[in-house]
Structure 1
Amino acid sequence: MKILSRWIPRLSPSLHRFASTARPRHNAPALAQRLPPGFPAASSPTRRAPQFPRRYQHMASSSKPLSAKDFISSLGKHSTITQGLENVEDVDTTKVITCHTYVPPAKSVEDETKPSGDAIFGGLSSVDEESSAAAETPDYVPSMEIFPNSSHRDGSIYSGTDDWKIDYRIADRNETWLDAMMFSDPTDCRMYNGTCVSHSSRHMLQFLSLRLAKIPVELGSVELYGYIAARDNLNPLLNYIVNFSRDDPIIVKQGSLINMAGPKRGIELVGTILIEYDMKIKAGEHESEDLQVIDGVSYLDNIDTWDRSPFTLRIHGDCGAIDVGVSRLNFAYEATIEVVISQVQSSFSMHLGCFTSGLHEEIRLFDGAIGESRGLKRSVVAVASDYQMELKFKVAADSCIPAEYCCCFEAKQHGHATQEINTGFALIAVKVTWSTLIEDEE
């Protein structure tokens, strides 16, 4: 593993904002951004993972989900979605998928020797698969550097004048006010050779998975609560990846995946972003009795990461550790996924996974039971331009052999695409809305 210790020159978020990662129009090399001097020298937390062959490309917030009725009716309203997009590109027409058997990508010898990140869609149940994956995980996972004086427990994160605390507005505990789909329906596109040049792709960070790597062995299943959030240069307020209250914790055990509720919007990876976290195990009647799993602030930047090379970092804490799987996606767009299940015939279980940008690693979007018509929570995923996003559904009743369905979506700057899946249990409607993160400066 490459070790790189350094002090990094100051560049505030306001300057990062104008350091465009748009695809160069004249093939000019992008300039790497670096941290302010207030960041402590740290070992490079990443290592380059093997690139996956481009020949195989996977196909395809916190806001309240649409009702089944409203969502289904909206699928045909292309005129409202495409308003102002006449000079950009046509919106996909609705596609109906009756059945599709998923064929996983061919793996290289190197892929076969490393642990799989698929915790749900294999031949095992999700619990057995997670336990098996945890047992096969190597003992050593690179550690994520934790800043000194960044603890919530002792309040040190709120004191001092460290540059990173000022530049990233650490004292501001509000959630990012920027939402997804900000430029999905623009009316001010400037066109060049049929391409919109007003809204460009950006380098983005994609969270692939969170896993409870270690807890005190005698605890077994635990009630976990707290949050993990990103602070980027687009808007440094909290963009939650997970956020569970003490009154509504999740029950997990060592090796289990943690369901990701976020991010609320795409995460820009230009220069440096902060990862802030404070997660505990509920251990008693009062919060003072709880066990601190992880607590602090770490960073990731675009200097020591590589395009579409997934890697895992471990955040260590007093009473456990959490593994964070991420990937940098160059020249990416934001995809907002909305799923509505209607015409439910009988109760069934459903797993929904997402593959993005040709990566083998799966992002778990849903894993649970469906008993009535409902909409799932909205999910936001980064997709590299010139690639596809694939959604894989796995549905089954009781102990029956599950049926698999896949729908694929080509990455786009703007607009939306819809697809429907007819199963024996229900009708699944999928809507993907495409957007860029920013509007380029004149």
Structure 2
Amino acid sequence: MPGLPLSHEEYKEEEEEDDDLEDIPLEPEDVLRFIQTVGYAEPSKRARLMKETLGVPRKPRDWPSGCLLPESSRDHRHVGDLQWHQTYEMDKLFETSLPPMRYTPCCDQDSVAQERCFHKPSPMLQLFCARIQTFLLADNTNTIEVYGYIAVRDSEDYRRNYLFNRSRDNPLTISSATDYLRLLSPKRGMSMKFDCLVEVDIRTKALSGDTDDKTLVDGCFDLIERRAALDVLSRSAVEGEHGALGFDLIIFRRGVEATICMNFLEVPDGDGFDIKMCGFTSIWKNLYAFIDDEQCECDSFVSSVGKFARYFVAAVQFDDTLFIDFMEGNMPISFEAAIHGIEEKVYHFRNGAAVSVKVSWSTTHY
């Protein structure tokens, strides 16, 4: 993680204003009062009210721009012979094959019986959102189409864990008003036990009058556990030829992996319905956008009973509580973070639908 936080007075003043609210953990009754007061609200309005009322999410701390590693452009990163190329096994272009929930049941069954489980929470990376900034979105350019990928390589296997992955034939349209990249849920939790690397290659399709695609951001930067600021929600950016990519992220000191799966038990007759789902935590007050129209790459339509096609993986600080909220005005369901185990609860929608939400807890590193 580069450098120390920026220390400008404006940030200090805003941080002081938020301190009292952000330092108070959320209790279920706090959430209930908020839900009863707000009811259903559009996501943007609801997010603003959550910030004003509950302090969720915390204000990110600004960090200097990330420094791209030498010879980390797409033409060099996979064929170079520098130390970091070898460390992160950059010649391997495969997606990680490691699944989530690897240690949901403790693999040391005999040790568990003797109350000697050796699994522990460990540093984990959580990336909440990514936004594109570019001068190509000028006043006379309403939208641009972007494609490419963002992937994280960690010490579990140094293979790509995709957070964004779109081909040129399937670009994402963004504008100055909707500049979020629609992120994928990671395939598994991202370990920061030792280090990890973020690999970025984001391009835009040729604009009217141009003949070639343009590179917005292309390069790699690494996060080193012993140099990182832990337990601090941070906002950082990496700059490229025609733009910059900003991240909101946190590295939990004592993180555990939450895998969220859904099974719809009842769906009203008719044409199905769209769902939205977010998560937020009680103590650390992090906000997870699991299913929405702006930040997440996920089909939100439910047409019939059965398992939802996607699962969602999140890093949560150990001893915190994760609330799963379907953002329609009913009380969220809560799950206490743990090292091992599965907890399942049923949520009833206002339209009569019902879904069983299962959260599986695991560590990422043995």
TM-score, scaled to structure 1? 0.65
Which residue in the other structure is 2:297 paired with?
A: none
Alpha-carbon distance in structure 1 between the residues aligned to 2:194 and 2:181: 28
- Contact 1:230/1:275 (<8 A) preserved: yes
Instruction: Give the conservation status (yes or no) of the 8 Å contact 1:45–1:313.
Output: no
Contact preservation (8 Å) 1:47, 1:311:
no
Indicate which of 370, 373, 397 corresponds to 2:301.
370
Aligned to 2:276: 351
Q: 1:263 aligns with which of 164, 186, 211?
A: 186
C-alpha change, 1:306 and 1:220, in structure 2 (3 Å) is same
Matches within 5 A, 1:14-413: 43-44=2-3, 55-57=24-26, 101=32, 103=34, 121-123=43-45, 142-152=64-74, 155-191=75-111, 195-218=115-138, 219-254=141-176, 256-283=179-206, 289-341=212-264, 342-345=266-269, 347-356=272-281, 358-368=283-293, 370=301, 372-373=303-304, 375-395=308-328, 403-413=329-339
Q: Deviations over 1:234-262 (max 9, x none)?
A: 21111111111222222222353222213
Partner SS state of residue 382, structure 1: strand
Aligned to 1:420: 346
Deviation, structure 1 residue 431? 1.0
Contact 1:147–1:297 (CA under 8 A) maintained in structure 2: yes
Alpha-carbon distance, 1:158 to partner: 2.9
Shifted more, 199-208 versus 356-365: the winner is 356-365
Q: Distance in 2 between matches of 1:261 and 1:55?
A: 31
Q: CA deviation at 1:386?
A: 1.1
Secondary structure (helix, strand or coil) at the match of 2:275 reads strand
Judge which range, 182-191 or 319-328, deviates more.
Answer: 182-191
CA shift for structure 1 position 306: 3.3
Mapped to 1, the partners of 2:282 and 2:47 lie a distance apart of 26
Corresponding residue SS for 2:43 = coil
Q: CA deviation at 1:54?
A: 5.7
Contact 1:357–1:383 (8 Å) recurs in 2: no
**Alignment RMSD (CA, Å):** 3.4
What are the superposed Cα offsets for residues 13-72 of structure 1, whole Å, 9 maximum, x if unpaired?
Answer: xxxxxxxxxxxxxxxxxxxxxxxxxxxxx9527569978856404779xxxxxxxxxxxx
1:370 to partner: Cα distance: 3.1
CA–CA separation in structure 1 for the residues paired with 2:229 and 2:79: 34
- Equivalent residues, number: 325
Conservation of the 8 A alpha-carbon contact between 1:203 and 1:330? yes
Output the CA distance in 2 between the equivalents of 1:220 and 1:125.
26
Give 1:233 deviation, angstroms: 1.3
User: Which residue of structure 1 lines up, in the alignment, with residue 38 of structure 2?
Assistant: none
Give the TM-score, by structure 2 length: 0.77
**1:366 is aligned with what amino acid?**
I
Residue 269 of structure 1 aligns to which amino acid in structure 2?
Answer: M
SS at match of 1:123: helix
1:334 and 1:382 in contact (8 A); partners too: yes
User: Gaps (5+ residues) in structure 1?
Assistant: 1-41, 61-99, 105-118, 130-136, 396-402
Give the counterpart letter for 2:166 in structure 1.
F
Match of 1:433 in 2: 360
Residue equivalent to 1:14: none
Distance 2:347 2:273 in 1: 15
In structure 2, give the amino acid aligned to 1:142.
P
Q: CA deviation at 1:162?
A: 0.6
Work out the CA distance in 2 between the residues paired with 1:177 and 1:364. 24
Per-residue deviation, 1:197:
2.1
1:392 Cα shift?
Answer: 1.7
Secondary structure in 2 matching 1:156: coil
Q: Aligned partners of 1:190, 1:208: CA distance in 2, in Å?
A: 37
Q: 1:168 and 1:47, CA in 2 relative to 1: closer, same or farther beyond 3 A?
A: farther
**SS state of the match for residue 217, structure 1?**
coil
Q: What is the CA–CA distance in structure 1 between the aligned matches of 2:165 and 2:76, rounded to whole Å?
A: 21
